[in-house]
């Protein structure tokens, strides 16, 4: 029973809250603004997604008349 009590988890919430609330050090506004400016936009979630350029479907250089001319020259009269 003694060993069980010794290994029992201890709740440190009250002591931690007391420690956090007693510390009253407040940084200068200039320092906090500098830190915020340095860290803004460094995370990937803060960056806007990069827009990929949509590729236009490649059109043909030849006209319909060029195809007909090729057809006549290569296959003969069509």
| pLDDT tens per residue across span 22-50 | 877 778 889 888 888 887 766 777 677 77
The residue among 58 and 12 whose pLDDT is bigger is 12
Specify the DSSP element, H or E, that contains 29: helix 29-39
Indicate whether 60 belongs to any domain: no
Domain count, the chain: 1
Indicate whether 70 belongs to any domain: no
Indicate whether 78 belongs to any domain: no
Give me the pLDDT at residue 42, please.
Answer: 67
Quote the longest CA-to-CA distance of the chain: 107
Q: Indicate whether this model's pTM tops 0.75.
A: no
Give me the pLDDT at residue 19, please.
Answer: 87
Is 12 a residue whose pLDDT tops 80?
yes
Give me the pLDDT at residue 30, please.
Answer: 92
Indicate whether 29 belongs to any domain: yes
Which range of residues forms the domain containing residue 29? Answer: 1-40
């Amino acid at each position: 029973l003694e060993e069980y009590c010794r290994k029992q988890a201890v709740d440190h919430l009250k002591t931690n809250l007391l420690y956090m609330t007693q510390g009253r050090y407040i940084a200068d506004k200039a320092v906090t603004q500098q830190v915020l400016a340095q860290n803004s936009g460094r995370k990937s979630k803060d960056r806007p997604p990069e827009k990929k350029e949509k590729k236009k479907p490649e059109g043909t250089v030849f006209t319909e008349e060029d195809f007909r001319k090729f057809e006549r020259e290569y296959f003969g009269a069509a």
